[in-house]
Structure 1
Amino acid sequence: MLILECPCCGVLADETELTAGGEAHLKRFGPESSDDEFEGYLFRRENPRGVHFERWRHSHGCGKWFHAARNTVTLEVYGTYSAQTTEPPEAIRQKISGVAPGWKWRLFK
């Protein structure tokens, strides 16, 4: 079972108390965007085997959105952080680099 700590209220919540919101750190495109940009936002997603950044909502708790860094193979959670953050905190990046050599943060377009 996946257990994440909500960084907003500090509660350790299992996946039944949370709602998954897909990949984190995507650039969202509005009405003024081109068809290619909007198509990319809707359909082009990472589906990595390993380190992944996701959006979660503490739906049966404080109701706030947050981001989680985890491994999709081992379900190891590297950390959680505010959804208002544009990239993972340095401490989480270092933790990931320590267990997944060669991993690099990718810039989202």
Structure 2
Amino acid sequence: MQLIECPWCGPREEVEFHYGGQAHVPYPDAPAEVSDEEWAHYVFFRDNTKGRFAERWCHSAGCRRWFTAVRDTTTYRFERVRRLDDPGPHATELARARRSTAP
């Protein structure tokens, strides 16, 4: 069983959490003007990154709060978690970090 660090409750078993998808997906600026194809891309298309990836998680069986986690998708290891109201790296910063550590 893997432990996930909740920013409010501390380490808990993974069965208490719910995966919420890729973090830092920008909402369209003018949603009324977005085409059906653009909505489909916004709703369904996400990165499938190998390595460090910013994700949203919810402590659904605990405090029920959402948080952002940086997780390595090859090892499943959580590198960092933070509350949504805490400043932190944006997805573009993570992309730059991945490129700088790539072989």
Gaps of 5+ in 2: none
Does 2:52 match 1:51?
yes
Query: Which whole-Å CA distance do the structure 1 matches of 2:57 and 2:38 have between them?
Result: 24
Aligned to 2:100: 102
Relative to structure 1, is the Cα distance of residues 38 and 49 closer, same or farther in structure 2, using a 3 angstrom cutoff? same
- CA deviations on 1:16-52 (whole Å, 9 max, x unpaired) are 0001101111112374241143222112200111111
Query: Which whole-Å CA distance do the structure 1 matches of 2:87 and 2:42 have between them?
Result: 16
Secondary structure, counterpart of 2:39 in structure 1? helix
Secondary structure, counterpart of 1:42 in structure 2? helix
Q: Count matched residues.
A: 95
Identity %: 33
Please say which of residues 58-67 and 30-39 is displaced more in the overlay. Answer: 30-39
Q: Structure 2-normalised TM-score?
A: 0.75
Deviation at 1:14, TM superposition (A): 1.9
Secondary structure, counterpart of 2:15 in structure 1? helix
* Alignment RMSD (CA, Å): 2.6
Q: Structure 1-normalised TM-score?
A: 0.71
Aligned to 1:32: 32
Gaps of 5+ in 1: 105-109
User: Which one has the bigger helix percentage?
Assistant: 2
Query: Which whole-Å CA distance do the structure 1 matches of 2:33 and 2:60 have between them?
Result: 31
Secondary structure, counterpart of 2:80 in structure 1? strand
Query: Which whole-Å CA distance do the structure 2 matches of 1:86 and 1:41 have between them?
Result: 24
Deviation at 1:12, TM superposition (A): 0.5
